[in-house]
A and B are shown apart, each in its own frame.
Chain A
Amino acid sequence: SQTIHQWPATLVQPVGSPLSLECTVEGTSNPNLYWYRQAAGRGLQLLFYSVGIGQISSEVPQNLSASRPQDRQFILSSKKLLLSDSGFYLCAWSLGQGVDTQYFGPGTRLTVL
């Protein structure tokens, strides 16, 4: 069966500091991978998606970036965090075919102070 991991689970960072969040998927090959952000009391906003190694598409202009250095690894980064970057960051995967259901990881709660 497939498993998705995210770390860290929680993070408190000062404004202007860098960020690196990691997501890995086990039990499947060549998944589609997604990064979402959920602000407090809000819906999920798609940030980035990837259909393969090195293939990244951005949905919303911002100071975040994503990379996919390996088939089942997805990284979300920032060089300088803003207060508005606070939120619940969720990684998701899908098979990329058929109904293409997305399954979410446990998430990283980021607080920027």
Chain B
Amino acid sequence: KAGVTQTPRYLIKTRGQQVTLSCSPISGHRSVSWYQQTPGQGLQFLFEYFSETQRNKGNFPGRFSGRQFSNSRSEMNVSTLELGDSALYLCASSLRAGEPHEQFFGPGTRLTVL
């Protein structure tokens, strides 16, 4: 079974621009979560989507948004990029939502903001 895929793997943007990252979950998984990892920090939860609905949101500004499509693929958007948004963005898929369950991560998208 194919794993979680994320595109693109690397991205360079400048301050003020916006960016869209994509995630395709494991086949049959309907829950997709997004995390941000910065140097010295653990993974910070951004949000979770299930059945095209945002179920949970972490403590990030409104510049961070996401959506999920009917095929469970998810996109994450960051508008008005800031230097501090440079990070590894990880997507994780899970079979179920509503209760904690094993999450399987993609390889991540490395975003650099100049």
Indicate, yes or no, whether A interacts with B: no
B: residues with CB less than 8 A from A are none
